[in-house]
Amino acid sequence: MSVVTRFAPSPTGHLHIGGARTALFSWLHARQHGGRFVLRVEDTDRERSEAIYVEAILEGMAWLGLGHDEGPYFQTQRFDRYRAVLEQLLASGHAYPCYCSRERLAALREAQQARGEKPRYDGYCRDREQTAGSEGDPPVIRFRTPREGSITVHDLIRGEIVFDNAELDDLIIARSDGTPTYNFTVVIDDTDMGITHVVRGDDHINNTPRQMHICQALAHAPPAYAHVPMILGADGKRLSKRHGAVSVLQYREEGYLPEALINYLARLGWSHGDEEIFDRDALLAHFRLTAVHKAPSSFNPDKLLWLNQHYIKTLPATRVAAELAWQMDRRQIDVREGPTLEAVVEAYRERAKTLAEMAEGSRFFYADPAEYDPKALRKHLVGAEAVLDALTEQLTAAQWTRPALHEAVEAVATALTLKLGKVAQPLRVALTGTSVSPPIDVSLELVGREATLRRIARARELAAGLAA
């Protein structure tokens, strides 16, 4: 049997961390078995679904490299199919119209709660002869859940989970306006799309027996299920915005590499010995759905940041540069004139923890400082006129290679009997507007001769003004 998995987000928000992990696990399982990975957009909630979120989900999936083989399918384009199956269930007696008014259901719920019972539909319309308008018009459609026996979910992560049918009420599968509900549409979609394995969050566990009952009513074998535990924040509560970034694209904006996020998400609830670093090939070799932990996982931002720094240091410069280009474009930094982004990556990869930090730090390679740090000016340019004059002379004549530039700066320090820092720091402020940059010879080489001499001249003017 060919393995077919799916990721089925609702476009009511951005692609979040929990959804991305589910997508990753589904994608890995399909790829490991030479199967297919389907993307389905569950957009039947018309009030909350928005096109902007569809775009964000697709962009997030593409950025993570979780390409789908089929789709995206949209549930709103399948209403005719749902209507046909609904009529089939009504005709076979597996579904029935329910005319109970909202007032009756509210009173029922209130009475059950007063008795300490779990609120559930009592089956009032289940076996009654109904006519339109008898108690509520139009009706909802409910599924006739078996009342006897039990149903067992063979979960790939949690093992067998047994549900007593008597605890499951007759769920609504179509609203009074005719729109189908989640537990109904997902069964039809999974069946029609040939889904063999459903990987999803454990908040869906209670939906699973209901969906299996619908499968049985339609004489379809249910898929295998794997319910992934939720992700918690450091405080032990469910991960949310109060814990920091939860949107995948927000992590992109903050300068994380997709390789780092994929690695971290895979390890969030799964392990393979004591190993921490897993590129995509390693995940495909070692990941197993059955090895996913049953307990919730805690999100650790420091571990993700550590992984991001690891990948910045170790990935090929061309790969990191491709992501850095997006950061530079977002900041409207024109990189057409200046060093290659690969050279910038090599200059910063040992210093930067994020690509956002790298992009901000490398502005000076492409444009003269728009402003200068006042503290750096006072500390390093006051009285530095002689240093800047000597640097101008040396750098004008120097070959523009890193070793020659290093020798030129050292020559100025020797000639003026100064420590190297007393020469390098005024030069650094002239180049960057701050007192922080990669090594001075690296910075000089990447800025270039013309821009360096121009910036030293500007710093010389500032130094003279400070001394006045």
How many residues would you count in the chain?
468
Phi, psi of 144 (to 5 degrees): -85, 95
The answer to whether 422 is a known catalytic residue is: no
What string of H, E and C letters represents the secondary structure of the chain?
A: CCCEEEECCCCCCCCEHHHHHHHHHHHHHHHHCCCEEEEEECCCCCCCCCHHHHHHHHHHHHHHCCCCCEEEEEHHHCHHHHHHHHHHHHHHCCEEEECCCHHHHHHHHHHHHHCCCCCCCCCCCCCCCCCCCCCCCCCEEEECCCCCCEEEEEECCCEEEEEEHHHCCCCEEECCCCCECHHHHHHHHHHHCCCCEEEEEHHHHHHHHHHHHHHHHCCCCCCEEEEECCEECCCCCECCHHHCCCEHHHHHHCCCCHHHHHHHHHHCCCCCCCCCCCCHHHHHHHCCHHHCCCCCEECCHHHHHHHHHHHHHHCCHHHHHHHHHHHHHHCCCCCCCCCCHHHHHHHHCCCCCCHHHHHHHCHHHCCCCCCCCHHHHHHHCCCCHHHHHHHHHHHHHCCCCHHHHHHHHHHHHHHCCCCHHHHHHHHHHHHHCCCCCCCHHHHHHHHCHHHHHHHHHHHHHHHHHHHC
Catalytic residue among 241, 294, 313, 375: 241
The C-alpha atoms of residue 78 and residue 58 are separated, in whole angstroms, by 20
Catalytic residues: 241
